Amino acid sequence: MSEFVISAPAQPSVAVAGSSARFPVRRVFCVGRNYAAHAREMGSDPSREPPFFFTKPADAVVPASGTVPYPPMTADLHHEVEMVVALGAGGAEVAPEQALGLVWGYGVGLDLTRRDLQAVAKDAGRPWDMAKGFDASAPCSALRPVADVGHPGQGRIWLEVNGQLKQEGDLNEMIWGVAEVISYLSRFVTLQAGDLIYSGTPSGVAALQPGDRLRGGVDGVGEFELVIGTR
């Protein structure tokens, strides 16, 4: 058996509701502009063009609880609440009617975004990596298995900041449903057990300040509460 030349990094993982077991994270895929109202607020036409994806490092996933740090190199950190899809099996070229069979469970997460860095990257035609893939940029609630929650196709998704409702929508407003997202993504990469998919955010994204208290959820899936730390 080969030895590593340095200590191997810890395996990123997510809590499982009601269990001491944890879900190991392999890769994190995020769907861009998957709610029509959010696409409009970001200046796009919400047609059913093929979905697009970006990624975050596996260790960007942290608990959606306690204090989440305000990241460096930004003055415009935005919240984006999303339903998280956790895959328990993988495949390539997965048919839509088979896609939900890959899902282990669901959770609720945040796609935190350094919007000012994203704007600069867009204007310069550069990648978004540093705007999306920074440390602690993907808080996630405890996951709940399909046996407990089924496959949510409708239900309220929402986020409050300091007690004020900022984002609200319904899962049935997704331009591309979970099965379609999995199927389309599997044309580009071979999906594997441990992959997480952040499925898109409704409208209402806005800037966060240090000390802000966030509470969000997806009806029938879960809720989270956290505080944004100091700069």
**Token pair listed for 18:** 């009601």
The domain ranges of the chain are: 29-228
Under the banding of pLDDT at 50, 70 and 90, the label for residue 37 is: low
DSSP state for residue 203 in the 8-state scheme: S
Q: Which fold has domain 29-228?
A: Fumarylacetoacetate hydrolase; domain 2 (3.90.850)
The pTM (predicted TM-score) of the whole model is 0.95
The reported pLDDT for the residue numbered 196 is 98
Q: What is the pLDDT of residues 105-164, one digit of tens each?
A: 999 999 999 999 999 999 999 999 999 999 999 999 999 999 999 999 999 999 999 999
DSSP state for residue 100 in the 8-state scheme: G
Q: Is 39 helix (H, G, I), strand (E, B) or coil?
A: helix
